[in-house]
Amino acid sequence: MSSSKNEQQMRLRLAQEAARVLIESGSRDFAMAKRKAAEHLSAHDTRNLPTNIEIEQALAEYQRLFRSDDQPQTLKKLREIAYDAMQFFADFKPRLVGPVLTGTADTNTAVNLHVYSDTYETVSVLLLNNNIPFENQDKRLRIAQDNYIQYPCIVFFAEQQKIEVVVFSNKQHGIKPLSPVDGKPMQRADLADLEILLNEAE
């Protein structure tokens, strides 16, 4: 077998293993998944590392083959939780992003929202006034090829589901962070967009 064929097969195996890591962890940290996949398969030749797109494709294929009985129902439930959360944050122009929107979310996946406010405190006060426990974190997002920015992020749970809310200022409404999968501007959905997705799943 040619070395080229061997490299292609290893690349596919690494993509599949990285996808498994992402599913089990609920994370979308592709660099971490690649590193763990390479360690598990003893593949330290970086020429064979798959792209994030290849890993996402492997993840979707894994779900189609092995999670077809429950993943669609899980995705629908996560989108319903996202819809309720977006209604809660309606004053802050919420947008759904990430795997819950694109369709590769699984049981361990967090719901990712972007909201817009003059101040971070205004958003956190809404949770405080509703007696919802939350944590303050930071979320590092890429907004250009080599430009990353840390944004404040609120993390809380609803129906035992983790929800991460990244807070942008109102002046940043035109900024579209880049997707970690393909490097293009993230897909984002407002309440009306999400309602269409939910109706299609009926």
d(CA 96, CA 111) in angstroms, rounded, equals 8
Structural domain that includes position 16: 3-66
Largest CA distance in the chain: 65
Query: pLDDT tens digits for 80-125?
Result: 999 999 999 999 999 999 999 999 988 888 999 999 999 999 999 9
Write down which residue in 36, 66, 96 finishes a domain.
66
Count structural domains, the chain: 2
Detail the DSSP E strand segments found in the chain.
Answer: 95-97, 111-117, 135-144, 147-158, 161-169
What pTM value is reported for the model? 0.84
Q: What is the pLDDT of residue 1?
A: 45
- The DSSP result for 47-98, as a single string, is GGPPPHHHHHHHHHHHHHHHSTTTHHHHHHHHHHHHHHHHHHTGGG--EEES
Q: Mark whether 76 and 176 lie in a shared domain.
A: yes
pLDDT digits (tens, 9 = 90+) for 43-55: 776 677 889 999 9
**C-beta separation of 15 from 50 below 8 A:** yes
- Residues 57 and 81 placed together within one structural domain of the fold: no
Q: How far apart are the first and last CA of the chain?
A: 48
Co-location of 115 and 164 in the same domain: yes
CATH number, position 91:
3.30.460.10
